[in-house]
Structure 1
Amino acid sequence: MNKRLSQFSRNQALVYKIFLFIASTLLVIYLLPKGGQFKYDFQKGKPWQYENLYAPFSFTIKKSEEALANEQAEIRKNAIPYFDFNAGSVEQSKDKFQQLLDESYVDSLYSTRKQTLLNLGNNIIDKMHLHGVTAEIHAYSQEQLVYLKKGNEVEEIPYRQIVKQDDLDEKVLELIKAGTNSENVWNYMEILLKRSMVPSVTFNQQLTESAIEAEIESLNPNRGIIEKGGRIIAKGEVVEGDTFQILNSLKDEYKSQVWSKSNLIWLLVGYAMLVSLVFLMLFLFLKKYREDIYSNNTKVTFIFFNIVLMVFLTTFIVKLDAAYVYVVPLCVLPLILKAFFDPRLGLFVHVLTLLLLGFIVPNSFEYLFLQIIAGIVTILTVSELYRRANLFISVAQITFIYIIGYFAFFIIQEGNIQTLQWETFGYFILCGLATLFAHPLIYFYEKLFGLVSDVSLLELSDTNSKLLKELSNKAPGTFHHSLNVANLSEAAANEIGANAMLVRVGALYHDIGKMQNPTYFTENQLNAVNTHNELAPKESAKIIIEHVIKGIEIARKNNLPDRIIDFIRTHHGTNLVYYFYKKEKELNGDAKIEDFMYPGPIPFSRETAILMMADSVEAASKSLKNPTSSKIDAFVEKIVNAQMDNGQFLNAHITFKEIQTIKKVLKKKLNNIYHLRVEYPE
């Protein structure tokens, strides 16, 4: 039955991996551009590496983006602006003038009759509003042609014919003097007319822009035709100028003409094969070099999720605007994988992800080169991520590498820096700033996937944390024992290249179950009274064994990560509580071995195996009387060899050589703890 369950479990894990493989492949294919890949790879400023290229079909030469931008700028520069004429403003000006005249005219002061002045004022208002009066300020020259829209009619006039606010005084006074010889009314009429004049012309932004856009849309994007069979470029010729634009035109035409709906199926088949190869390489790498990760479906899902996420983000940005492609913080991927796993896996996954992105991004060679270099720098520079300063320094170095790499590529392609796009450097800086979000992203992933990073391990290793302070208060002897085990385990892990931070934290929490009944454990007994003397051996063994179960319960209640709980579950494996087992046999002549065995499981990683060795050796070392170097050596050998004989390390993926190394570290550390010195002859 157990064999069938085990087989079902293995098959279930395999089925899930196959599902993950297919789902990830389909998602990536969906995100990839639905167009064929041009079979020639070329770059501006570099020689043509292939044989002479002849046009496979007739196609038009597209204008370069720069040429189109220049034409659009020229259209905007020469565009004729539209102005609206408001006929109602003329009547408003006349009504206002008449009102002011009625209020201020005095017969005795002026020799000219009121009606004459009214007629003169209305006549001047009509002349001023012939082409309109505007209060707006524009930078047009006086001879600039403009369209003046009066109702449904549009007339073309020079801009100088529209009266501006600054010219109003001079124009009004000129017309007044031309209309009457009575000098005593000139200033009076000037004041009235200036106060009466309501602007009648306003700039029509919407109509002007519509006209410009219509003219821009009518631009011909092509500038010539290449006939079928015509030579485009010869082998060894440098790709530049018109040739570069012709090749780009052929590339665009190739995608639109060659790749139609009829052969979309073949395109998808090709994509499926290439994407499948990438994911297959990832599975093979995990199977061969990271067996512990491969066997954990959650970790495999986490890796695939991040790859698909990066492909999605890059695709989204490229569709939005390809110029922003370097804003995507791709270096977050190796950084996060390094935080949760190891640098080698981080770099491998980073490179595989870039292979997929090569189908999406423009200038794929330049992009891949910069991103691979940046990924290598990320792996080499980001160490001890839990130190915030390290992340800032590494991000600065990554950004600097981006800038240097892009600058070098630009010089190679353009041969000068006159047209250098400085805003691209800003994109690299934004990318660096986005990379700083690795810390909150790591925290999010820890909660979502149940993983543990060095950042969390550092927080858990703080002896001032609530749980460890509770342990030190309730079971001070156990707390001291845990500190010693942590130091021993960390030293051993460093020596064999295991995760030292993880094993240290696991050691600090491995005995928290002893807080429930601390006096039943010798390290917490402050006097010679042993509470086990009043209990049957079987009862005592049960209490001792239960500290593992209670430790797991306390850990779960305090939301400790599963990787830390693994240390609590496995630190005694399936070992025997030998003292009480032997005592039971002495009292009753027989004893069931099952009643005196820890429930397990046995250690299933190098880190949990190290803890088992360090825990047993440290605890038993307290019983040594007059310890000497030779006694400690024999004592460590005896305990670790007994664990090996009991098969406690069969699932731990630890080698005999590593166990021997761990023994040496434990011996050395114990000698230091007991301050043993070489005995000199008298």
Structure 2
Amino acid sequence: MTNFINNLYKNQALFYKVFLFILTAVVIVYLLPKGGKFKYEITKGKPWQYENLYAPFDFAILKTDDEIVKEKDQIISNNIPYYSFNEEVVTQIKSEIEPQIKEVFTDSILNRRRAEITTFVDKALEDLYQYGILEEKKRTNPEQLVYLRKGTEAFEINYDRLFSQEEIQAFLTSAISRSNLASIQPELLELFYTIIEPNVIFDAALTQKELDSKLNNISYTRGSIERGTIIISRGEVVEGEKLDILNSLKQEFEAQIWSDSSYNWILFGYSLLVCMALLMLLLFIRKYRRDIYENNVKVSFIFFNILLMVFLTSLVVNFESRYVYIVPLCILPLTLKAFFDSRLGLFSHVITVLILGFIVPNSYEYMFLQIIAGIVTILTVSELYKRANLFISVGQITFIYILVYFAFTIIQEGNIQNLDYEIFLTFILGGLATLFVQPLIYIYEKLFGLVSDMSLLELSDTNTKLLKELSDKAPGTFHHSLNVANLAEAAANEIGANAMLVRVGALYHDIGKMENPTYFSENQSSSVNSHDELSPRESAEIIIGHVIRGIEIAKKNNIPDRVIDFIRTHHGTTTVYFFYMKEKEMNEAVATDDFRYPGPIPFSRETAILMMCDSVEAASKSLKEPTTAKIDSFIEKIISKQMEEAQFLNADITFKEIQLIKKVLKQKLKNIFHLRVEYPE
């Protein structure tokens, strides 16, 4: 039992990776669309390159989206509106006619012309309310048919048979002029204006109900294909009716295959493919990025970003697949490049795009476009901390999206008339969303404890609290660190290493000397040497202790681990040679390990560069009357000794790169000492 627990503890990192792998695969499979995958790729405008295709079962030919939209628009434009006729208004008006006539006309007029007035008013009201008076203003099309509903019955009439309120005056004026009552026209108009009210209103609820009924009865199919019918022959161009039939077969196939009986098999197939893709990524990290593989936080970070992109794409596709390019997928390689390197960023991007091929429509077009965009992202984005570079790169990425989409469209359509300019807008919005990578990187730094070039840029500021403290307490060490930083940055640029990282590492590599600054020669301002009162062993302990103390100070000030690595490794496992030889003069049996730095040795090109530059810069202070030959000789001697002691064994640095670093250091030191070229006499 004890052995089992010990083995479990020793392999906890492996168990975590297995758990992370399974969890990621399960979530991705859950996000995949719930349907089978049609085994043929349908590309509009291209010849059918598969065998002759026969209908595997009976299926209906689906109408295209454009056909359905056109049919809906036609139904909406031809829909006849409903109007309701209010009988109560007419009854109310008729009951008020007699009192209003008495009120408007004088007794003398009524005594002479009552019957004539009453007859005219009844006839005019009958004409006005035969179909009714509208509450609304007249519409632009008077010939339109409408349904007029009276009670439970509805009948069809022309819209112009309904009176608008603006037409009443003209109607009454004309009627009065044709009668014998023209002399009392003002009184008649006053009577009608008093009693007339609109009684026909637009019935929006009934109209919409009728429209919905018609829209719901739309047939989404046109014709059918019987089983065994040849659909398309090899070499035929996929277009027109053939394209519609193929798309119909694809939809029916994917709907039928996702049945209860095949559900588990399809799920198993999806799981295999997703697991295979994630496994390739994990094996790549294990083989080529061992330091990342052994760090569970970094592996979790990579898998989290892949999950995030799959989730966002799935969300957009479920909402509206046309907007799939709004998802800023290029943030993935950008982020991984900022924290790790270009190769890992591109590999992860390709794996993610392969997985997304199961989710998006037109998967080949999508995958081709996104992979090209990812390559452009890796090639164009350098020094992400410079805002101008990011804007330029995002512009280039957006241009590539538009260019590739344009190429696909003219291949499929054969012309540029069918370009969907709304897609261009999604490319631009996706490009703008990519700019969010900078605040996202800051969030990731806080969540996962990672370090990007933007953080390194902040740390390289010599006005930071820690570097100001180093400048005050150990000015000689601070000056030495600046010189080493300049040398290391130049060397890193020469061999293509991370110049910003090595510069920051150089600025902080000796912060441990702040505790006892006078025990280090660069801070001794007088002829008094603090080591004169100590034994060689005690002096060596103080010198070696600046590495341990530097690590403690860095952690206390929240310096990232990537920078602390330079403090750990800048002396590797070399010996404090001066005090070792001094002790050896007094005691032949001295142990070398008592005078050796704790290590570890450099494990990257950047940490190896710092070790070389630190040793060379410190030793250069002891050069008397330096010449070109002396500088070349002592640089060769120092670096050769480090190589003999196997200090660069784990640094992944080549002999050619070391030679280039030597060349840079020689040139820089010659410039520092202002040496001229020695001409022959």
TM-score (normalised: structure 1) = 0.89
Q: How does 1:38-53 map to 2 (within 5 A)?
A: 38-53=38-53
Q: Which runs of 5+ in 2 are unaligned?
A: none
Aligned equivalents of 1:587 and 1:299: distance in 2? 50
Counterpart residue type for residue 283 of structure 1:
L
Residue 62 of structure 1 is matched in structure 2 by: 62
Aligned equivalents of 1:592 and 1:85: distance in 2? 114
Cα distance change of structure 1 residues 354 and 102 upon mapping to structure 2, 3 Å threshold: farther
Asked whether the equivalents of residues 85 and 150 of structure 1 are also in contact (C-alpha less than 8 Å), the reply is yes
Q: Does 1:510 align with 2:486?
A: no
Residue 528 of structure 1 is matched in structure 2 by: 527
Asked whether the equivalents of residues 399 and 432 of structure 1 are also in contact (C-alpha less than 8 Å), the reply is yes
Q: Secondary structure at the match of 1:133?
A: coil
Q: Once the two structures are aligned, what percentage of the paired residues are identical?
A: 62
Q: How does 1:426-505 map to 2 (within 5 A)?
A: 426-505=425-504
Q: Deviations over 1:573-615 (max 9, x none)?
A: 3443444455556678876766654443332222112212211
Q: Deviations over 1:106-144 (max 9, x none)?
A: 779999899998998798667545544334346452232
Cα distance change of structure 1 residues 619 and 65 upon mapping to structure 2, 3 Å threshold: same
Aligned equivalents of 1:94 and 1:550: distance in 2? 106
Q: Secondary structure at the match of 2:11?
A: helix
Give the CA deviation at 1:262.
Answer: 0.5
Residue 22 of structure 1 is matched in structure 2 by: 22
Aligned equivalents of 1:192 and 1:215: distance in 2? 45
Aligned equivalents of 1:618 and 1:6: distance in 2? 47
Asked whether the equivalents of residues 477 and 523 of structure 2 are also in contact (C-alpha less than 8 Å), the reply is yes
Q: Deviations over 1:468-512 (max 9, x none)?
A: 334333332222111111111122222333211111111112222
Q: Deviations over 1:22-78 (max 9, x none)?
A: 222222111112222111112111111112111111111111112111111110111
Residue 600 of structure 1 is matched in structure 2 by: 599
Counterpart residue type for residue 412 of structure 1:
I
Aligned equivalents of 1:616 and 1:550: distance in 2? 20
Give the CA deviation at 1:225.
Answer: 1.5
Residue 76 of structure 1 is matched in structure 2 by: 76
Asked whether the equivalents of residues 92 and 198 of structure 1 are also in contact (C-alpha less than 8 Å), the reply is no
Q: Secondary structure at the match of 1:568?
A: helix
Cα distance change of structure 1 residues 114 and 604 upon mapping to structure 2, 3 Å threshold: farther
Aligned equivalents of 2:373 and 2:138: distance in 1? 50
Moved more, 184-193 or 58-67: 184-193
Moved more, 406-415 or 94-103: 94-103
Moved more, 499-508 or 14-23: 14-23
Cα distance change of structure 1 residues 505 and 9 upon mapping to structure 2, 3 Å threshold: farther
Aligned equivalents of 1:286 and 1:362: distance in 2? 30
Residue 361 of structure 1 is matched in structure 2 by: 360
Aligned equivalents of 1:550 and 1:193: distance in 2? 104
Aligned equivalents of 1:73 and 1:284: distance in 2? 55
Cα distance change of structure 1 residues 184 and 658 upon mapping to structure 2, 3 Å threshold: same
Q: How does 1:168-567 map to 2 (within 5 A)?
A: 168-174=168-174, 181-191=180-190, 193-194=192-193, 197-535=196-534, 537=536, 539-567=538-566
Moved more, 123-132 or 217-226: 123-132
Aligned equivalents of 2:499 and 2:528: distance in 1? 38
Q: Secondary structure at the match of 1:237?
A: coil
Asked whether the equivalents of residues 104 and 191 of structure 2 are also in contact (C-alpha less than 8 Å), the reply is no
Q: Secondary structure at the match of 1:631?
A: helix
Cα distance change of structure 1 residues 129 and 478 upon mapping to structure 2, 3 Å threshold: farther
Aligned equivalents of 1:98 and 1:664: distance in 2? 118
Q: Deviations over 1:377-399 (max 9, x none)?
A: 22222222222222222222222
TM-score (normalised: structure 2) = 0.89
Cα distance change of structure 1 residues 658 and 146 upon mapping to structure 2, 3 Å threshold: same
Q: Deviations over 1:278-322 (max 9, x none)?
A: 122212322333333333322222222222221111111111111
Aligned equivalents of 1:116 and 1:394: distance in 2? 90
Give the CA deviation at 1:247.
Answer: 0.8
User: What's the C-alpha RMSD, in Å, of the aligned pairs?
Assistant: 3.5
Asked whether the equivalents of residues 360 and 366 of structure 2 are also in contact (C-alpha less than 8 Å), the reply is yes
Residue 666 of structure 1 is matched in structure 2 by: 665
Asked whether the equivalents of residues 54 and 233 of structure 1 are also in contact (C-alpha less than 8 Å), the reply is yes
Cα distance change of structure 1 residues 420 and 87 upon mapping to structure 2, 3 Å threshold: farther
Asked whether the equivalents of residues 107 and 113 of structure 1 are also in contact (C-alpha less than 8 Å), the reply is no
Give the CA deviation at 1:80.
Answer: 1.1
Asked whether the equivalents of residues 486 and 505 of structure 1 are also in contact (C-alpha less than 8 Å), the reply is yes
Q: Secondary structure at the match of 1:143?
A: coil
Q: Secondary structure at the match of 1:623?
A: coil
Aligned equivalents of 1:8 and 1:653: distance in 2? 32
Counterpart residue type for residue 74 of structure 2:
E
Asked whether the equivalents of residues 510 and 550 of structure 2 are also in contact (C-alpha less than 8 Å), the reply is yes
Cα distance change of structure 1 residues 483 and 143 upon mapping to structure 2, 3 Å threshold: same
Give the CA deviation at 1:238.
Answer: 0.8
Q: Secondary structure at the match of 2:231?
A: strand
Cα distance change of structure 1 residues 192 and 538 upon mapping to structure 2, 3 Å threshold: farther
Q: Secondary structure at the match of 1:157?
A: strand
Aligned equivalents of 2:172 and 2:182: distance in 1? 14
Give the CA deviation at 1:227.
Answer: 1.2
Cα distance change of structure 1 residues 252 and 518 upon mapping to structure 2, 3 Å threshold: same
Counterpart residue type for residue 494 of structure 1:
N
Counterpart residue type for residue 472 of structure 1:
S
Aligned equivalents of 2:538 and 2:574: distance in 1? 17
Asked whether the equivalents of residues 124 and 176 of structure 1 are also in contact (C-alpha less than 8 Å), the reply is no
Aligned equivalents of 2:92 and 2:478: distance in 1? 93
Residue 164 of structure 1 is matched in structure 2 by: 164
Cα distance change of structure 1 residues 185 and 312 upon mapping to structure 2, 3 Å threshold: same
Asked whether the equivalents of residues 574 and 598 of structure 1 are also in contact (C-alpha less than 8 Å), the reply is yes
Q: Secondary structure at the match of 1:526?
A: coil
Q: Secondary structure at the match of 2:417?
A: coil
Cα distance change of structure 1 residues 300 and 643 upon mapping to structure 2, 3 Å threshold: same
Q: Secondary structure at the match of 1:677?
A: coil
Asked whether the equivalents of residues 176 and 182 of structure 2 are also in contact (C-alpha less than 8 Å), the reply is no
Aligned equivalents of 1:44 and 1:119: distance in 2? 75
Aligned equivalents of 1:89 and 1:599: distance in 2? 104
Cα distance change of structure 1 residues 565 and 184 upon mapping to structure 2, 3 Å threshold: farther
Give the CA deviation at 1:237.
Answer: 0.8
Aligned equivalents of 1:191 and 1:525: distance in 2? 114
Asked whether the equivalents of residues 28 and 307 of structure 2 are also in contact (C-alpha less than 8 Å), the reply is yes
Moved more, 594-603 or 382-391: 594-603
Moved more, 271-280 or 163-172: 163-172
Give the CA deviation at 1:632.
Answer: 2.9
Q: Secondary structure at the match of 2:146?
A: strand
Q: Secondary structure at the match of 1:83?
A: strand
Asked whether the equivalents of residues 357 and 363 of structure 2 are also in contact (C-alpha less than 8 Å), the reply is yes
Cα distance change of structure 1 residues 396 and 101 upon mapping to structure 2, 3 Å threshold: farther
